[in-house]
């Protein structure tokens, strides 16, 4: 890869919501961040305060737009695209249910309700294609949701052949913590990519993980 051909994409998960805390399956419900989410996002904004970002793309759900504002306030004339293509996967009839109730009523197959993962990857891929095709983009932030990040990074690796940086393995591509930072690079000339890091939470003062991987 040559430097001039590379676009780096920082993928951010939104800050915490009460639904996250209460283990409610949010899906595409338009829930706001809670106080902890705002604190997390403020720390995230400081993390990017010295990194010039060329372009921002965010889910149109408010928890992502709220998160992104803590980053864009440190940028000069930020270019921001708001799109439903980066929304969380619609979870159908279990959306809005407590996780324990969904498991009790439908079992582990509750995850199969709603939007198919293939559909999710198609819509996120449209946004990535637009990013890569714009030669003015060198550092880009995508702000989206835990389920989107998990599925799309697995798609990049297992289906598009993106390499994993040293120290990463496929089993690391799990639902990341709120306001975590995951990074991949794409070479415009070849279409090849490298997943550089996944789920980094150093800006929060530690290495934090999501315990319950069934939540979305």
Q: Which of 14, 137, 145, 157 is catalytic?
A: 14
Distances (CA, A) of 113 to 72, 89, 103, 105: 35, 10, 12, 13
With a cut of 50, list the residues of the chain below it in pLDDT: 1-3
Kindly report whether the global pTM for this prediction surpasses the value 0.85.
yes
Strand order in the sheet with 139-144: 80-83, 55-59, 139-144, 6-13, 181-187, 193-200, 163-164
Q: Which of 55, 88, 127, 145 is catalytic?
A: 88
**Beta carbons within 8 Å of 30's beta carbon, 6+ residues apart:** 61, 62, 63
All domains of the chain in start order, with CATH:
3-204 (3.40.50.1240)
DSSP state of 165: -
User: Is there a catalytic annotation at residue 14?
Assistant: yes
User: Is there a catalytic annotation at residue 166?
Assistant: no
DSSP state of 184: E
The predicted structure's pLDDT at residue 214: 76
């Amino acid at each position: 890869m040559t430097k001039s051909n590379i676009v780096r994409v920082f993928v951010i998960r939104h800050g915490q919501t009460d639904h996250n805390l209460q283990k409610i399956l949010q899906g595409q419900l338009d829930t706001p961040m809670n106080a902890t989410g705002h604190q997390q996002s403020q720390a995230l904004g400081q993390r990017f305060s010295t990194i010039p970002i060329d372009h921002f793309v965010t889910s149109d759900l408010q928890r992502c737009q709220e998160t992104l504002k803590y980053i864009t306030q440190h940028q000069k004339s930020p270019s921001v695209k708001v799109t439903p293509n980066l929304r969380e996967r619609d979870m159908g009839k279990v959306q809005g249910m407590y996780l324990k109730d969904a498991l009790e009523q439908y079992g582990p197959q509750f995850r199969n309700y709603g939007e198919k993962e293939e559909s999710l990857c198609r819509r996120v891929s449209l946004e990535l294609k637009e990013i890569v095709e714009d030669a003015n983009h060198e550092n880009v932030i995508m702000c989206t949701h835990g389920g989107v990040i998990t599925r799309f990074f697995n798609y990049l690796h297992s289906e598009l052949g993106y390499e994993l940086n040293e120290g990463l393995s496929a089993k690391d591509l799990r639902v990341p913590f709120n306001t975590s930072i995951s990074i991949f690079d794409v070479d415009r000339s070849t279409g090849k990519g490298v997943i550089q890091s996944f789920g980094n939470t150093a800006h929060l003062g530690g290495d934090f993980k999501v315990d319950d991987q069934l939540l979305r």
